[in-house]
Amino acid sequence: MIPALRPKVELLSRDYVEKVIGEALDLLEQEGVFVENAEARLLFREAGMPVDEATQRVRLTSHLVEDALASTPPSILMYDRAGSREFTVGGDEVHFDPGSGAIRMLDSVTQKERKAATIDVVRLTRLTDACEHIHFQSTALISADVPEIVADSYRLYLGLLYSTKPMVTGTFRIAGFKPMLEMLAAVRGGSEALRRRPLAIFDACPSPPLKWSNLTAQSLIDSARASVPSELISMSLTGATAPVTLGGALVQHTAENLSGLVICQLARKGAPVIFGGSPASFDMRKGTTPMGAMETMMIDMAYAQIGKHLKLPTHAYMGLSDAKIQDAQSGFETGLGAVLAALAGINVVSGVGMLDFESTQSLEKLLIDNDICGMAYRLLDGVAQRDEPLAAHLFDGIRPDTQFLTMPHTRKWYRIEHRMANLTDRDTYDAWEGAGRKSIGDRAAEQARALLSAVPPNLPDPALQKELRSIMEADARSNGAAGLPDLP
């Protein structure tokens, strides 16, 4: 049997990849990066790097970067809440997760954006948990009904309560890391168990060009020491905060990510790091950051290729849209992004559910995107050889009235070779009209309501619920935040 070829797309020649890496290393050595965080600068000084305390500029030798690369694991095993199901973040594995950090919800009824509350976060989390093709959960939505100071820990709290999947999250304040780590350790039954079976990835975004803020550098250090995987989210805007050419932006992206990777490795050798990003082809008219632009996706695919060349796990913000409602644009941008990310073999693909430049989440879009991800996975499975011969035996004794519907061969293979449509319309016109002329958004809204009422929340055992609640309440109290919202 001939194995199925895994379809794969690469945008850069090997020479190009090496040129980008070479220029990035030169950039780090000659210009360096700005590191606001004193502890991170101390790590660089201890590693013998020239650090200018006045300007906070750190120069990194290629040797240091290469050492750091050598000690970074090429893949990471993530585990679900139960600690039993394993997910490889590495190789050409692809895992979709909802785009993280939205502050608004596209209201299911009014189809207008509004701020999000606890109930929205819970619904989105529960639906993500129910989506077969969305392997990871993310703290995708920030609820406005808790004090801003604990917004980071609160979204993780809700995620751990209502989802069984590995999480992608991050801090909004330095002090946020501790309660968040406590919650993760509580789920695992201790910090050692958490080290062995990572449950959450922490995102950390450098500020373009070539800056690490105090908060993000601290997140890298704290995560590395706790063996929590850090996802480096370089987010350059072409022609605004980075060179305008795709190649130029790639050099900056690579340099920023490599400097973050070094901070992680200096904090703890062997710390898990993911080479990720959220760059955008800056819109020179609107001043916006289109995530659905083809050039944005090209930068994503190209830096992921560079990450793979460096033998690192990869991540990108793809499979999301800048549209404001469920429309043709939201579908084509998400479809293109998810498929291209899959073809590029990007390990963690953040974006599903998201609209309006990473600012808004939608329950309906999440479910539509689940279908898109399913199609992308089908594509990755490729064209397999199921039989030997492929077909000759099916034509034995062929007659003019031969059909395949009743062949055992059809029955054996049709569910494996072909995916059923879920929300996608494959009705005849009359059937579609008879069913009420519904758009895919209408059908998704119905499915969201049905899932939320039919599928009970996937809560952990009551003792763990109580423990998570008490960590969350302690965090809120110590920040002077009175009472947390009641859970639905």
Partner 1 sequence: MEDMNACYARMAEAVVAGDAEAAAVLARQALDERLDLPAVIEQGYIPGLRRVGDLWEDGEYFLPELISSAAAMKAALAVLGPALEASGAAGLSRGRIVIGTIEGDIHDIGKNLVASMLSANGFNVVDLGSDVKADRFIDAAVETRADLICLSALLTTTMLGQRRVIERLRERGLRERFKVLVGGAPVSRAWAAEIGADGYGENALAAVTQAAALAAAKVTP
Residues that bind partner 1 (CB under 8 A): 36, 101-103, 113-115, 142, 148, 151-152, 172-173, 207-208, 211, 213, 215, 237, 239-241, 282, 284-289, 357-359
Show Cβ contacts of residue 406 under 8 Å, excluding neighbours closer than 6 positions.
none
CB of 207 vs partner 1, minimal distance in Å: 5
CB of 214 vs partner 1, minimal distance in Å: 8
Q: What is the length of the chain?
A: 488
Closer by beta carbon to partner 1, 208 or else 331: 208
Question: What are the two backbone dihedrals, phi and then psi, of residue 271, each rounded to the nearest 5 degrees?
Answer: -60, 140
Cα 470 versus chain centre, distance: 29
Show Cβ contacts of residue 80 under 8 Å, excluding neighbours closer than 6 positions.
87, 164, 165, 166, 199
Closer by beta carbon to partner 1, 119 or else 240: 240
CB of 327 vs partner 1, minimal distance in Å: 19
Q: What is the DSSP annotation of 371-425?
A: HHHHHHHHHHH-----SSSSSGGGGTT--TT--STT-HHHHHHHHHHSPPPSSS-
| Cβ count near 39 (within 10 Å) | 14
Structure tokens at 116: 């999000």
Closer by beta carbon to partner 1, 171 or else 370: 171
Q: Give the β-pairing of 76-79 and 86-89.
A: antiparallel
CB of 474 vs partner 1, minimal distance in Å: 22
CB of 182 vs partner 1, minimal distance in Å: 21
Asked if residues 116 and 154 have their Cβ atoms less than 8 Å apart, the reply is: no
CB of 172 vs partner 1, minimal distance in Å: 5
Beta bridge partners of 315: 348
CB of 213 vs partner 1, minimal distance in Å: 5
Closer by beta carbon to partner 1, 129 or else 356: 356
CB of 35 vs partner 1, minimal distance in Å: 12
Closer by beta carbon to partner 1, 208 or else 319: 208
3-state secondary structure (DSSP) of residue 202: strand
CB of 208 vs partner 1, minimal distance in Å: 8
Closer by beta carbon to partner 1, 72 or else 296: 296
Closer by beta carbon to partner 1, 209 or else 460: 209
Closer by beta carbon to partner 1, 73 or else 147: 147
Closer by beta carbon to partner 1, 104 or else 188: 104
List Cα–Cα distances, 441 to 24, 94, 311, in angstroms.
Answer: 44, 26, 40
**Taking Cα atoms as reference points, which of 139, 171, 168, 131 lies closest to residue 156?**
139
Closer by beta carbon to partner 1, 38 or else 284: 284
Secondary structure element (H or E) that encloses residue 98, with its range: strand 95-98
CB of 271 vs partner 1, minimal distance in Å: 24
CA distance 200 to 12: 31
CA distance 314 to 305: 9
Closer by beta carbon to partner 1, 114 or else 411: 114
* Upstream peptide bond of 290 is cis (omega within 30 degrees of 0): no
Residue 67, class by beta-carbon neighbours within 10 Å (0-12 exposed, 13-18 middle, 19+ buried)?
Answer: middle
CB of 289 vs partner 1, minimal distance in Å: 6
CA distance 40 to 242: 24
Asked if residues 240 and 282 have their Cβ atoms less than 8 Å apart, the reply is: yes
